[in-house]
Amino acid sequence: MSSLLIIGFIVLVLLITTFIVYLFKKGDERKQFIKMKAASATFIVVLVYLILEIFSVIYHTTITHQKYEMMNPLVTLVTFCILYFIALFFFKRKYGY
């Protein structure tokens, strides 16, 4: 079980590192445009998710009076990285390069 956890952690670190390196890679105007479109689409999804999370916290703490389990930052980061790669793939196919 612990070796599976270590392998999963290494994969997650590689995914996040690839995401960061790809963002700072230089390219021509079309590549920059595609990265900008993917980043803006992902940012909108992140904002909507965080707003829904805020409403969920307010609902659970005020109406149901239950302790609310907060989001896991690692899972959230990995989910948004995967979402960015999906958006990047979509915009690459749409605008081509």
Provide the 3-class DSSP secondary structure of residue 28.
Answer: coil
**pTM of this structure:** 0.69
pLDDT at 97 over 70: no
Q: Residues 33-44: what's their mean pLDDT?
A: 91
For residue 84, how many other CB atoms are within 10 A of its CB?
Answer: 21
- Tokens coding 40: 């803006």
Spatial CA neighbour of 70 closest among 80, 56, 51, 82: 56
Q: Say how far apart CA 97 and CA 90 lie, in whole Å.
A: 12
pLDDT at 20 over 80: no
pLDDT at 61: 85
Would you list the domain boundaries of the chain? 2-95
In DSSP notation, 76-95 reads HHHHHHHHHHHHHHHHHHHH
Q: pLDDT tens digits for 53-70? A: 889 888 888 888 788 777
pLDDT at 44 over 90: yes
Q: Say how far apart CA 35 and CA 60 lie, in whole Å.
A: 37
Position 22, amino acid: Y
